[in-house]
Amino acid sequence: MPMNVLAAERLSFRYGQAEQPAIQDISFEADSGNVVLIAGSSGCGKSTLLRCINGLIPRSYKGELSGALRINGADPAPLSLARIAQLVGTVLQNPEKQIVGAYVKNEVAFGPENLGWQRQRIIQVVDEVLQRLGIAHLRERETFKLSGGEKQKVALAGVLAMQSRLILLDEPLASLDPASATETLRLLRALADDEHTLLLVEHRIEDVLDLQPERVLFLRDGQQIYWGDLQQFEAVADPREVKLPAPLVVEWSRRNPPADLPPPPAPAQLSAAPLIEFEHVDFFYDREQPVLHDISLTIRKGDRVAILGPNGAGKSTLVKHIIGLLKPRSGTVRVMGESSAALTTAQMAQHVGYVFQHPGHMLFAPTVREELAFGPRNLGFAPERITANVARSLEMVGLSGLEDRPPLALSYGQQKRVGIAAVAAMESRVLVMDEPTAGQDHRSYTAFMDAIARLQSFDAMIFITHDLDLALTYANRIVLVADGRIAADGAPEQVLADESLLRRCRVEPTSLLRLNLTLLPHTGRFLRAEGLARYLKEDAATTSRTSSVGIGPHRQP
């Protein structure tokens, strides 16, 4: 019989200097073997709720805490943080804040070592966990050399090694390639079937639906909006707020026609002027482990390029050559016609703006306003131009009104948007973004990507992503990278139609891709789910993710 593992009753918390509670009157329960999906927009209180459960509130984060919380039927208030850590395992949103070991094996062993386990038991547990996650090959690797997705897996391995029965996961899929996300979800289901209790904060709702969580908790502005089963949540959820399977979005859009959708990106023009050129580029950090092999690639004016591929394939290494953070070991990279070998990083920054995968790598100023003004000021912009650019960029990413807040005090998703706004304020000709939607809620990232698409203020845009739907919606060109090589480069309708190629590159087809491929003879190009609604017959059975699609009359997009 399932045992009650976690119960919250009217749980509320207000941070010390905040005017409003971060969460208010949250009540729910989770039994052994349950997966609970916690959904909601960035800044809605999801991470605050997890901090209450794992003891960081009120021990590390101070403020006003009220309501009741019970773990395994007992009040955790008298327990030390070390004791709570044995009961509750936490995988943080940003794995770099969690990893402390220099090598993967040391990181995974860190928790058991602090619990005083015998050496042989620790070695056995480390090997078992690494094998279970499919990362045994990383055992001897230095953690700082891992990709973002690999770090995410290592952080999860460290938590699993502690053998806690209650596990909190804050955006565990954010940095994972689609195939790794599928494998992780399969593992999480196996843990739940083994009587673990999992609380999963995640924006990738469509992926998590395949996990079939027993309960869904939906928050908005710190308030509990929904608590119940998955099927009812699908029926009441607003696809503008959470990302749902494409057929559900199409059905919703038929009932609620969107007023103003940005046009899809114009097709790439091979005759346009080249902005960035790679010619036979090779790169390695360690000679025995080459990262890039014979990369030849040209980015032209008008390109909207999505770079897809597995964790550790070399995607971030590739784009770091565009901004001069890395120089080729052999071959040539040219930016605006000049070799990167002859340009400083500062000179390249006048043409190319780069948004890091983890916002903490680029945010430093005391206020959001100062953060956005820093780049334009160093480029010699006039004060009135800086002021206008700061206001325009904040509006673009939906952060107007937060000008005087410290950037690093914002939620992770909000920090990502500050980083994007900081680059937009510099008026760079080429915008480069590494995982722009990781940690972002659906409404926020759709809004700022739509704003970028409408602005047309960049000559070219390049973004690394594991979100296939983001790529087919906003890119006019797809570059698949695998094992440090370019596996494919072309129009989305061509590259993404080869399912065997996608799977070799660990890209999993989504419901939106499948629907677009079905409708392509009628649309002529890939469209977002809302744009597909007018191509379907009224009687199409779109309320099921596995239903067939009815095709309406041919219309021009």
Q: What residues pair up with 286 in beta bridges, in sequence order?
A: 289
Q: What residues pair up with 90 in beta bridges, in sequence order?
A: 168
Is 177 within the bounds of a domain? yes
User: CA-to-CA distance for 430 and 364, rounded, in angstroms?
Assistant: 23
The pLDDT value given to residue 317: 93
The pLDDT value given to residue 184: 83
Is 63 within the bounds of a domain? yes
* Phi-psi group of 69: left, alpha or beta (phi > 0 → left; psi -120 to 50 → alpha; rest → beta): beta
Strands 35-40 and 166-170: unpaired
Q: How many CB atoms lie within 10 A of CB 394?
A: 22
Are 421 and 393 within 8 A, CB to CB?
yes
Is 22 within the bounds of a domain? yes
Is 338 within the bounds of a domain? no
Supply the pTM of this predicted model: 0.81
Is 355 within the bounds of a domain? no
CATH number at residue 226: 3.40.50.300
Is 399 within the bounds of a domain? no
The pLDDT value given to residue 328: 95
The pLDDT value given to residue 43: 81
Is 220 within the bounds of a domain? yes
Tally of domains within the chain = 1
pLDDT in tens, the chain (557 residues): 678 999 999 999 999 888 899 999 999 999 999 999 999 887 889 989 999 999 999 999 999 999 999 999 999 999 998 889 889 999 887 788 889 999 999 999 999 998 889 999 999 999 999 998 889 999 999 998 887 778 888 998 999 899 889 999 998 887 788 888 888 888 889 889 989 999 999 888 888 887 889 999 999 999 999 999 988 888 888 888 888 899 999 999 988 888 788 888 889 888 888 999 999 999 998 888 899 999 999 999 999 999 999 988 999 999 999 989 999 999 999 999 999 999 988 888 889 999 887 788 889 999 999 999 999 998 889 999 999 999 999 998 889 999 999 998 887 778 888 988 898 899 888 999 988 887 778 888 888 788 778 766 789 999 999 999 999 999 999 999 999 999 999 999 999 999 999 999 999 999 999 999 999 999 999 999 999 988 876 444 443 443 434 333 333 33
Are 131 and 160 within 8 A, CB to CB?
no
The pLDDT value given to residue 1: 64
Q: pLDDT for 23-63, tens place per residue? A: 999 999 999 999 999 998 878 899 899 999 999 999 999 99
User: CA-to-CA distance for 304 and 312, rounded, in angstroms?
Assistant: 23
Domain, as residue range, for 183: 4-237
